[in-house]
């Protein structure tokens, strides 16, 4: 543990915030307040929390359908995300997207993509625009290890390296693509070798250790900005809950889940902070109270939110309406 206290507190706070948000979502989903699909980030908080500080507001973020943690860590308010989950028009996507399609252009947060691998080309394009307009910015693209099987992954890795685009490819390897273990779907489960096959700089990181993630992110973003190359990080992590709410987890043994829970990024970091004298009980209680307050406020905000009038259904299909059509 060698991070200064203020950064450590901030990282812990972010992880606690994400955890609390996700648990509240699980509860609200069971109650029917949140509908559709719900993919929770519980257990993986260190990744989003550790990566975001390496970015400026000028950089861009593309994520997946399991993106609540990324959205919150990036800077979307808990209330706008919660309202979106409820489908209210006060949500970040005006209630149009729901859990899987969080967007906030002011935070340069480009979703929220429900197609596995579907966000990678967009990230490549955002980076291409930056390079062509000579802006020294990074586009961070989060995806799961399941996306590595999709053609888009290979097309994008190749294109980004070929054209030297400033993309940070962040593969969150939680070992399971829905119900299929990585070992059952990949001939080579060592993911950085795939990056090497495209000549791309890469590293593997312990995704349960927020400090390791933080440092790896700083280094990767630095390399991208200074060398003008893309970068690939594999973050080894684990989701403590099912793929989505409707998943009886027949594909992994309970013992394995319990084993990984012992490496919970939050409790392990808490302990390390305590051991380094950077955290005491009072501070932790204060942090948790702050988080609880924020989440409760977000729920109240979402509850009080309003439904978009159905007459507005066709708004924003096109910018320009053509009469007579």
Partner 1 sequence: MNLNEPAAKIRTTYREALRMALREALQRDDRVFLMGEDVGRYGGSYAVSKGLLEEFGEERIRDTPLSESAFVGAGIGAALGGMRPIVEIMTVNFSLLALDQIVNNAATLRHMSGGQLSVPLVIRMATGGGRQLAAQHSHSLEGWYAHIPGLRVLAPATLEDARGMLWTALQDPDPVIIFEHAMLYNLEGNLAADAGAVEIDHAAVRRAGDDVTLITYGGSLGKALQAAEQLADAGIGAEVIDLRTLRPLDSNAILASVKKTHRAVVIDEGWKSVGLSAEVSARIMEGAFYDLDAPVLRVCSREVPIPYAKHMEEAALPQVPAIVQAAREVLHRA
Partner 2 sequence: MPSLGADMEAGTLVEWLVKPGQKVKRGDVVAVVETQKGAVEVEIWEDGVVDALVIEPGTLVPVGEVLATLHSEGMAAASPATQPTSAPRTPAASAPPTAAAASAERGRISPAARRRAQELGVDISKLAPSSADGIISIADVEQAAHQIAPAVNKQAAMRQAIGAAMAKSKREIPHYYLGNSIDVTHALGWLAQENTKRSVKERILFAAVLLRAVAVALKETPELNGLWIDQQFRPSTAVHLGVGIALRGGGLVAPAIHDAQDKGVPEIMSTLADLVQRSRSGGLRSSELTDATITVTNLGEQGVETVYGVIYPPQVALVGFGRMVERPWVRDDAVQIRSIVQATLCADHRASVGHRGALFLTALERLLQQPERL
Binding site for partner 2 (CB under 8 A): 27, 29-33, 35-37, 244-248, 250
For the chain, list the strands marked E by DSSP. Answer: 60-62, 103-104, 109-110, 139-144, 167-173, 176-177, 180-181, 201-206, 231-236
Tokens of 194: 């795939």
Using the minimum distance from each CB to partner 1, give the nearer residue, 71 or 291. 71
Q: Does residue 35 bind partner 1 (CB under 8 A)?
A: no
Using the minimum distance from each CB to partner 1, give the nearer residue, 139 or 237. 139
Q: How far apart are CB 263 and partner 1 at their closest, in Å?
A: 35
Q: Does residue 6 bind partner 1 (CB under 8 A)?
A: no
Using the minimum distance from each CB to partner 2, give the nearer residue, 4 or 253. 253
Q: Does residue 69 bind partner 1 (CB under 8 A)?
A: no
289 three-class SS: helix
Q: How far apart are CB 16 and partner 1 at their closest, in Å?
A: 28
User: Residue from 118, 189, 203, 284 that binds partner 1 (CB under 8 A)?
Assistant: 118
Tokens of 254: 């309970």
Classify residue 317 by its DSSP letter. Answer: S
Distance CA(53)–CA(74), nearest Å, equals 8
Tokens of 135: 């802006």
Using the minimum distance from each CB to partner 1, give the nearer residue, 156 or 299. 156
Distance CA(123)–CA(269), nearest Å, equals 31
Q: Does residue 110 bind partner 1 (CB under 8 A)?
A: yes
Tokens of 295: 């989440």
Q: Does residue 316 bind partner 1 (CB under 8 A)?
A: yes
**φ and ψ of 184, to 5 deg:** -95, -5
The distance of Cα 173 from the centroid of its chain, to the nearest Å, equals 12
Contacts to partner 1 from residues 79-108, by CB under 8 A: 89, 91-97, 101, 103-105
The footprint of partner 1 (CB under 8 A) covers: 60, 89, 91-97, 101, 103-105, 110-111, 113-115, 118, 120-130, 132-133, 139, 151-152, 155-156, 158-159, 162-163, 315-320, 322, 324-325
């Amino acid at each position: 543990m060698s991070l200064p206290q203020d950064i450590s507190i901030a990282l812990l706070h972010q992880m606690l915030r994400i955890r609390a948000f996700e648990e509240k979502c699980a509860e609200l989903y069971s109650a029917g307040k949140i509908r559709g699909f719900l993919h929770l980030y519980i257990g993986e908080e260190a990744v989003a929390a550790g990566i975001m500080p390496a970015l400026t507001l000028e950089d861009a973020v593309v994520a997946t359908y399991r993106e609540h943690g990324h959205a919150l860590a990036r800077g979307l308010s808990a209330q706008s995300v919660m309202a979106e989950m409820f489908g209210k028009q006060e949500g970040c996507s005006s209630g149009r997207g729901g859990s899987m399609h969080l967007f906030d252009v002011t935070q340069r947060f480009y979703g929220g993509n429900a197609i596995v691998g579907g966000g990678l080309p967009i990230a490549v394009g955002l980076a291409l625009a930056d390079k062509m307009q000579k802006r020294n910015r990074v586009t961070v693209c989060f995806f799961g290890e399941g996306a590595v099987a999709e053609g888009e992954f290979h097309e994008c890795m190749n294109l980004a390296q070929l054209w030297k685009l400033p993309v940070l490819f962040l593969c969150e390897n939680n070992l399971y693509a829905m119900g299929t273990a990585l070992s059952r779907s990949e001939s080579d489960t060592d993911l950085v070798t795939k990056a090497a096959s495209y000549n791309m700089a890469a590293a593997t990181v312990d995704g349960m250790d927020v400090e390791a993630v933080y440092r790896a992110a700083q280094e990767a973003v630095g390399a991208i900005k200074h060398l003008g190359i893309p970068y690939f990080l594999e973050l080894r992590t684990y989701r403590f809950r099912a793929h989505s709410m409707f998943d009886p987890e027949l594909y992994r043994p309970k013992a394995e889940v319990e084993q990984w829970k012992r490496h919970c990024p939050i409790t392990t970091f808490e302990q390390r902070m305590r051991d380094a004298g950077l955290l005491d009980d009072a501070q932790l209680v204060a942090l948790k109270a702050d988080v609880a307050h924020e989440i409760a406020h977000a729920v109240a905000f979402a509850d009080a939110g309003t439904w978009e009038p159905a007459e507005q259904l066709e708004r924003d299909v096109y910018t320009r309406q053509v009469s007579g059509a």
